Structure 1
Amino acid sequence: MPELDSIYDNCDLMAAGSLIPDWQPARRPDARTLEGRFVRMEKLEPARHGDGLYAALHGPDSDAKLYDYLPWGPFSSRIDFDTWLSAHTAKPDPWVYCVVDQRTGAVLGNIGLLGIAPTHGRIAIGGVMFGACMQRTPKGTEAFYLLAKEAFELGNRRLEWRCNSENARSRRAAERFGYTFEGVFRQQMVLKGINRNTAHLSILHTEWPAVREAFERWLALENFDEAGQQIKSLESFRVSPSARSAE
C-alpha cells in the first residue's frame, strides 16, 4: 500500500535523525586550573585540599542542609570524610574541582563534572558541596559559570543538571543559571533508603552563547555596588534583545 510505504519511509528518516557535519567527540577535562575574578577551580587533590575542604563543609559556618539531598554523607568523623574524599576523586568521572577564593586562598567547597560522555558530547555539573559562606554570592555563580564555560569549550553539545525533584534550592539555582527544565524521571533511584524522583535540566550548545553573555554581564565589575551587592539580577540579563530595546 503506497500510504503505508510513505509512513514507513518517514519513520526511517526520523529514526535516522539528523546528521551533524564534521562531528568530533568532545575532549575530556584535564588538570588545568580555571581562573575567575572571585574564585579559581583547581583539580581537587585530597592531600592538598582536604584540611580546608573539611573545615569549609563541617566548621561552625557550614551549611546545615548540605547533605540532605546528596548521595553521600553526613560524615561522623574526619576519617570517614577522608576515606570518602579519596574514593570520590580517584576516578576520572566525576572530575572534581576544589573552589578556592582568589583573594584569600581559602578553600570554599567542591564541585564536579560528571556523566562524562565525549562520544555524544554530553556532560553534567553536579556533586555541589559549598560552604555556607559561598552560597548566594558571586563566588558560587562564578564557579558554575567557569565549569559551564569549560564544558562547552571541551566541545560538548549538552550540559546537564540532575537533582532530586524535591530539592527546590537546587532546581532554583539551575533555572537561575539558565538551564531549561525537561521533566522528572519518577522513581529513578533509591538513595539512603529513600525514593528519588530526579529532575532533569539542560543547556544546549546553541543556547550557551546567550547564557554565557548573561553570566559575563552579571559578573562584570559595573554590576556590583560599593558594598558588593548586585545591581541587576542574572535573569534580567537573559531578557531577549527585543525586550531590552523596548525598555
Structure 2
Amino acid sequence: MTCDLGQWQARPFPPHQSLQGRLVRLEPLDSARHGDDLWAALQGPDPALWDYLRYGPFAERAAFDAWLAGNAASRDPQFYAVIEQASGRALGVLSYLRIVPRDGCIEIGHIAFGAALQRTPGASEAVYLLAARVFDDLGYRRLEWKCDARNTRSLRAAERFGFVHEGLFRQHMVVKGENRDSAWFAILDGEWPSRRAAFRRWLAADNFDAAGRQKRRLEELRG
C-alpha cells in the first residue's frame, strides 16, 4: 500500500554505508582501495560496457583514477563498489543518483559491471541491496531506472528486475556527440513487496543447482 500523503514527510538522505549480501557487498567507492581491481575488471574484457555511458573507456590509468576519485567524492551521485564476497575483489560500480528526499524519489544508475560480474546472481543482488535500502530502510516512494533507448542490455535488465516502463523521453541528452532518447522505468513503493519477495526467492541458495544454474527465473517468481 502506498503511503498516505497527508502524513508524508521528507525521507532521510541515504547514508553512504556498506550493504551486505550473500554473494556481494556494496562498499562506498574508494579510489585507493578499489582502484586496482576496478581497472582490471572494467578495462578491456567488455569494450561495449562504455558505449552508453557519458565517460570511458579510459586509455590511461591516470584518467581512470581521476574518474574514480571524482565519483568517490560525490554526494549525488553516491557511488558504491560491488565486492564479490568469495574473492574480495571489486568487480563493478553503481550508484544512487537524482536523490530527492523531499519527494521520496531516487534513481539507480552509473552501472558499470565488469565481465566477471555481468549476468550473475551477484549482479542482481547488488541491485536488490540498493532497492531494499530505498524502500525498506528509508521509506522512499519511487525508485527510477533510466537508460539509452538503444541499450538493449539495460532495457532487458530493467524489465527483469520488475521496473515498469513509463515512456520514452525523446532527444533527452547529448552523449558523446550523439542524441540519446531515454527510456524511463520505475518501481513504486506499493509495487515493491512483490518485487522484494521475488528477489529473495530467486537469490536463495536453493534456487541454484550444484553448477550454479538457476532453477526458476526471476520473472517467473514475480508472477
Q: Does the TM-score normalized on the shorter chain lie above 0.5? A: yes
Whichever residue aligns with residue 26 of structure 1, its letter is R
Whichever residue aligns with residue 207 of structure 1, its letter is E
1:104 lines up with 2:87 in the alignment: yes
Q: CA deviation at 1:89?
A: 2.3
Deviates more, 1:154-163 or 1:22-31: 22-31
| Contact persistence 1:25–1:155 (CA under 8 A) | no
Give 4+ residue runs of structure 1 displaced > 6 Å after superposition: none
1:120 lines up with 2:110 in the alignment: no
Q: Which ranges of structure 1 fall in alignment gaps of 5 or more residues? A: 1-17, 240-247
Q: CA deviation at 1:31?
A: 2.7
Equivalences for residues 191-206 of structure 1 within 5 A: 191-206=175-190
Find the counterpart in structure 1 of residue 127 from structure 2.
144
1:37 lines up with 2:22 in the alignment: yes
| Contact persistence 2:38–2:92 (CA under 8 A) | yes
Task: Say which one has the larger Rg.
Answer: 1
The match for 2:117 among 109, 130, 134 is: 134
Find the counterpart in structure 1 of residue 138 from structure 2.
154
Q: CA deviation at 1:99?
A: 0.3
The CA RMSD over aligned residues, in Å, is: 1.2
Q: CA deviation at 1:156?
A: 0.9
- Structure 1 residues 129-166: Cα deviation after superposition (integer angstroms, max 9, x where no partner): 10101111101010110011111121210000000011
Find the counterpart in structure 1 of residue 39 from structure 2.
54
Find the counterpart in structure 2 of residue 24 from structure 1.
9
Find the counterpart in structure 1 of residue 203 from structure 2.
219
Whichever residue aligns with residue 81 of structure 1, its letter is F
| Contact persistence 1:218–1:232 (CA under 8 A) | yes
Q: CA deviation at 1:19?
A: 6.7
SS in 2 for 1:146: helix
1:172 lines up with 2:178 in the alignment: no
What is the alpha-carbon distance in structure 1 between the residues aligned to residue 39 and residue 15 of structure 2?
24
What is the alpha-carbon distance in structure 1 between the residues aligned to residue 145 and residue 186 of structure 2?
6
Aligned residues with identical type, % of pairs: 52
How many residues are aligned here? 220
What is the alpha-carbon distance in structure 1 between the residues aligned to residue 28 and residue 55 of structure 2?
20
- Structure 1 residues 192-234: Cα deviation after superposition (integer angstroms, max 9, x where no partner): 1100000000000000000000000000111110111100000
Whichever residue aligns with residue 213 of structure 1, its letter is A
